[in-house]
Amino acid sequence: MENIALIESFSEFKDDKLIDRVTLMAILEDVFRNALKKKYGSDDNFDIIINPDKGDMEIWRRRIVVADDDLDLENEEITLTEARKIEPDFEIGEEVSEEVKLIDLGRRAILALRQNLISKIHEHDNTNLYKQFKDLIGEIYTAEVHHVRPRVVILVDDEGNEIVLPKEKQIPSDFFRKGDNVRGIIESVELKGNKPQIIMSRTADKFLEKLFEQEIPEVFDGLIMIKKVVRIPGEKAKVAVDSYDDRIDPVGACVGMKGSRIHGIVRELGNENIDVINYTNNIQLYITRALSPAKVSSVKIDEEKKRAEVFLKLEEVSKAIGRGGHNIKLAGLLTGYELDVIREGSAVEEDDVELTEFSDEIDGWVIDEFAKIGLDTARSVLNQDVADLVRRTDLEEETILEVIKILKEEFED
């Protein structure tokens, strides 16, 4: 195979892979130099001239002329007799330049050249892809559903790049079909062998933050700051916002008239309930706002333990805790404090008993779990539905049933 034909067959990669001319020349030269090293032991005395645009290439081998009786020839040397076959007037000590045809490398070497070139181009593509998506980590990205599997959805972007959306990074209500457009953030880029694996997430707190940037101009312009975002994906989220300009109401600007601005974000997240609250450095006020929609009577802070006792009227307790305990959990995550709900002014009924009185039969941590959802007496626990207690606490059903048995025995006695 002539040099020109080989380069023509190689140059197709320039169009297929959209590699710029300089990069392709560098890859080609590297591939050819590796082949020369294998055949001659060194490529130091070879000059390679490549022009992929024209489809031609030249390889020139430089050697010094030595006497015919020099039997221990190096790669960089040529005997006088051999040199004069190239040009009859060469003398000992002169430099000879001779063109090397690729066919001289052997057919197997030429096949290896092509395979090596393909490998180098894929390596170049993967490196560029890795760098490209590394720079996009934390940014919103849109891609099309290519394949839906039980544990993962495979997406493809406009450039044909494959993006992975694992099941655990999907909102529970997400349902995708082939051809659907999906938005999420690029959460990570991992190298699997030599190929980068791009991971998308729709459950990350950052995704909600970036949606605010996209949908709310004041956030995009930096007039409103997102101080913190916490989420239970698909269920509930709390977003603390602040403003540089006192004339701007950050909560009102984010929510919009009758929720018009935030509606698109809620829909994108599968009707996730989003509370937007004003950020403040006053931790008591911050906790009070974080527990919205409940009306908090007072807050007692323990800075050292990062705990807070929150006092509420009886009718406000369920609002503070929220469905499934989501409201109080998110309020704790938002403020950084462990929140204990205490029913304000709730006198223990004459025939009721404080849960702490059962500390010899019920573990303290179990009593604490009930206290967190405002249940601090025996009757307050017995009046609850077991399934509801399982949902609202971190207790197993077996543990709750055991507690109920102990409490019932007290009243039977």
- Given CATH 3.90.1150.10, say whether it is the number of domain 136-202: no
The answer to whether 224 touches 261, Cβ cutoff 8 Å, is no
Asked if 3-131 and 204-279 have one fold, the answer is no
**Mean pLDDT, rounded, for 100-104:** 72
**Res. 383: pLDDT tops 60:** yes
- Strands 56-66 and 46-51: what pairing? antiparallel
Taking the model in full, what pTM does it have?
0.62
**Res. 288: pLDDT tops 70:** yes
pLDDT in tens, 214-268: 999 999 999 999 999 999 999 999 999 999 888 889 999 999 888 888 999 999 9
pLDDT at position 192 is 77
pLDDT in tens, 8-18: 555 555 454 55
Closest to 152 (Cα-Cα) out of 170, 167, 173: 167
Tell me how far apart the alpha carbons of residues 188 and 209 are, in angstroms, rounded to a whole number: 17
Angle, helices 107-134 vs 21-40, to 10°: value is 140
SS3 79: strand
Tell me how far apart the alpha carbons of residues 42 and 33 are, in angstroms, rounded to a whole number: 9
- Running DSSP on this structure, what letter comes out for residue 91? -
Instruction: Report the percent of the chain where pLDDT is more than 70.
Output: 85
- Beta strands of 121-278 (E only): which ranges? 140-148, 152-156, 162-166, 181-192, 195-201, 224-232, 236-243, 273-278
Architecture of domain 204-279: 2-Layer Sandwich (3.30)
Read off the amino acid at residue 115.
Answer: Q
pLDDT at position 56 is 67
- In the chain, what's the furthest Cα-to-Cα distance? 124
Identify the residue with better confidence: 41 or 255. Answer: 255
Instruction: Count other Cβ atoms within 10 Å, centred on residue 292.
Output: 16
Tell me how far apart the alpha carbons of residues 401 and 391 are, in angstroms, rounded to a whole number: 14
pLDDT class of 276 with cuts at 50, 70, 90: very high
**Which ranges in 50-202 belong to alpha helices (H)?**
80-86, 107-134
**Res. 378: pLDDT tops 90:** no
78, 81, 87, 93: CA torsion to nearest 10:
50
The answer to whether 231 touches 256, Cβ cutoff 8 Å, is no
- 3-131: what CATH class? alpha beta
**Res. 189: pLDDT tops 60:** yes
- Beta strands of 193-337 (E only): which ranges? 195-201, 224-232, 236-243, 273-278, 298-302, 307-312
**Mean pLDDT, rounded, for 77-84:** 84
pLDDT at position 413 is 61
pLDDT at position 210 is 95
Distances (CA, A) of 327 to 69, 332, 369, 386: 94, 9, 15, 20
SS3 45: coil
| Residue-range domain boundaries for the chain | 3-131, 136-202, 204-279, 355-412
Which uninterrupted H or E stretch holds 262?
none
pLDDT class of 1 with cuts at 50, 70, 90: very low
Tell me how far apart the alpha carbons of residues 297 and 276 are, in angstroms, rounded to a whole number: 21
Instruction: Count other Cβ atoms within 10 Å, centred on residue 250.
Output: 26
Instruction: Count other Cβ atoms within 10 Å, centred on residue 94.
Output: 14
Read off the amino acid at residue 207.
Answer: F
